[in-house]
Amino acid sequence: MFKAVEKDFIKTHNKKIESDLKFDYEYLEKKLRKENIDINEIKEKIKKFQVAVPTWGVGTGGTRFARFPGIGEPNNIFEKIEDCAVINDLVGVTEKVSPHFPWDNVSDFKELKEFAYSYSIGFDVVNSNTFQDSAEGELSFKYGSLTNANQSIRDLAIKVNLDAINAGITLESKGLTVWVGDGGNFPGQISFSNSLSRYIDSMKKIYTELPQDWNIYLEHKPYEPAFYSTVISDWGTSYICAKELGERALCLVDLGHHLPNTNIEMIVSRLIDLNKLGGFHFNDSKFGDDDLDAGSINPYELFLIFNELSSASKKGKLNQISYMIDQSHNVTDPIESLILSSNEIVNCYAKSLLVNYNVLEEYQNKDDAIKAMQLLKNAFNTDVSSITAMARLENSNAINPIQVYRSLNYKQTKSKIRVTNKGSSSGIV
């Protein structure tokens, strides 16, 4: 087994701040005990939490206008895995990566799996890309993929998905996420009705080929790249399609794929009750599908989502959820962004575990809006960083991952080996 970051290097850094952490942890332990909360129980749950990192997230992203490459950035899936391993060695909650095909295509997937395993990295849900064309071939997804009016183009899009499943089987993944950019830019361009029925028809062909122990995740999005209408525009459409496909078809909620002010936590609750919540793509946004770092703009929303998840889990209503990050890092070192994002996600999960749901229900039944709101606010305002840091320390990860990462000079070292693509071509990833 290789170590992207030497354990001793992490240990030496941890040693310097371990006693400060213990002080903070014990203080919080006493505080929470007064509220009958067992801090160790929360810490044990945190130690088991996992969120997958997107392979495309470790490369520098771009906008429609330009892309500004960072130094020492990865050029292929193997170098991406190395970066993901650095993140996981420091934070410990990102043991798996979520690959995108054909972006991450290689000639030998067994070799890729072994390479990743040598860094203790596994593969989470695989993603299929039918929102751009491959270099070869005449057929184009310009006017749609799984919903295209042309049967041969639909067949090609189905094949891209089946290829992704086959790659995923070798990589020991257990699921496929399907997002299509299909839609129309102008009224009249596509038939809402025909394109949706073609989507269901194509998805049925993919669903039939899904291994028995796999799930398929349907991701909706209201606009972009199509700006007038998209085929799978909202959670309602996604739910209808998932229901039509069968038990192993579930809905995936990307936090940026909602119109402004949408109550995402309520959507999460609805999907749980309908037994169709499958997974998340975590990110944050100010305006649209901004793909900013999770918790960087609206951490309270992220907390309220975990509040729904933890409440449902207490009631035994929550199935296995695939937690994934889906972000584009245009101005930061993607490794640093992913370290912080994973921590924001874990922090919000920890905060939600502070909520006493029996008490909340009492307030709800007594129509006491102030007390109910205060209960949630108190949990959100509690500094749980000592719990998540202690979980990292006990799992042999870094108490302060950003500090350890910076002292590694990782990207500077990589820049001497990796070739930086100087081009400024655009492309949102």
Measured CA to CA in angstroms, residue 154 lies from 111, 217, 274, 337 at distances of 31, 19, 30, 37
With CB under 6 A as the rule, give the number of residues binding ligand PSV. 10
Do the Cβ atoms of 96 and 51 come closer than 8 Å? no
Contact (CB, 8 A) for 407 and 26: no
- Are 110 and 76 in contact by the 8 Å Cβ rule? The answer is no
Q: How far is the CB of 262 from ligand PSV (least distance, A)?
A: 16
The β-bridge relationship of strands 122-123 and 277-282 is: unpaired
Nearer residue to Mn ion within complex by CB, 207 or 280: 280
Q: What are phi and psi of 100, to 5 degrees?
A: -125, 130
Question: Hey, which residues between 379 and 418 contact ligand PSV (CB under 6 A)?
Answer: none
83 in contact with ligand PSV (CB under 6 A): no
Binding ligand PSV (rule: CB under 6 A), the pick from 219, 265, 284, 344 is 219
Q: Alpha carbon of 13 to those of 47, 68, 148, 254: distances in Å?
A: 20, 32, 55, 35
**CB nearer to ligand PSV: pick between 59 and 92:** 59
Near ligand PSV in 165-204, by CB under 6 A: 179
- In the bound complex, what is the minimum distance in angstroms from residue 360's beta carbon to Mn ion? 31
Closest residue to ligand PSV using C-beta atoms: 179
Judged by beta carbon distances under 5 to 8 A according to partner kind, the member of ligand PSV, Mn ion, none in contact with residue 306 is: none
Q: Which residue type is seen at 3?
A: K
- Among candidates 108, 46, 144, which has minimal Cα distance to 387? 46
Query: What character string, x for contact with ligand PSV (CB under 6 A) and - otherwise, covers 252-281?
Result: --x--------------------------x
Angle at 278 between CA 317 and CA 282, to 5 degrees: 110
Which parts of this chain interact with Mn ion (CB under 5 A)?
254, 281, 326
Distance CA 145, CA 225 (A): 13
CB-side neighbour CA atoms (13 Å) of 107 = 0
- Spatial distance between the Cα atoms of 267 and 159, rounded to a whole number of angstroms: 31
Q: How far is the CB of 141 from ligand PSV (least distance, A)?
A: 14
Pick what 329 binds: Mn ion, ligand PSV, none; C-beta below 5 to 8 Å, kind-dependent: none
Q: Applying CB under 6 A, does 56 fall inside the site for ligand PSV? A: yes
Beta bridge partners of 215: 175
Closer CB to Mn ion, residue 89 or residue 254? 254
Q: Which two tokens stand for residue 260?
A: 């402004």
Cβ 194 to ligand PSV, closest distance in Å?
23
Our CB check for Mn ion shows the closer of 226 and 353 to be 226
Phi, psi (degrees; rounded to nearest 5) at 427: 150, 120
Given the complex with ligand PSV, which of 258 and 281 has the nearer CB atom? Answer: 281
Of 124 and 326, nearer to Mn ion (C-beta) is 326
3-class secondary-structure state, position 5:
coil
| C-alpha to C-alpha distances, 104 to 80, 254, 325, 351, nearest whole angstrom | 10, 21, 17, 35
Choose between 258 and 281: whose C-beta lies nearer to Mn ion.
Answer: 281
Q: Is 326 in the site for ligand PSV (CB under 6 A)?
A: yes
Q: Which CB sits closer to Mn ion, 97 or 372?
A: 97
Q: Are 173 and 124 in contact (CB under 8 A)?
A: yes
Shortest reach from residue 37's CB to ligand PSV, in Å = 36
By the rule CB under 6 A, 55 interacts with ligand PSV: no
Cβ 139 to Mn ion shortest distance, Å: 25
Q: Is 154 in the site for ligand PSV (CB under 6 A)?
A: no
Q: Could you tell me the smallest distance in angstroms from the CB atom of residue 219 to ligand PSV?
A: 5
Identity of the residue, 5 or 52, whose beta carbon is nearer to Mn ion in the bound complex: 52
**Which of 345, 271, 268 shows the shortest CA–CA distance to 308?**
268
Q: Which partner, ligand PSV, Mn ion, none, binds residue 173 by CB below 5 to 8 Å per kind? A: none
Binder to ligand PSV among 73, 124, 289, 308 (CB under 6 A)? 289
Q: What is the gyration radius of the CA atoms in the chain, in angstroms?
A: 22
Return the structure tokens found at 275. 């037994």
Can you give the binding site for ligand PSV, defined by CB under 6 A? 56, 127, 179, 219, 221, 254, 281, 289, 326, 429
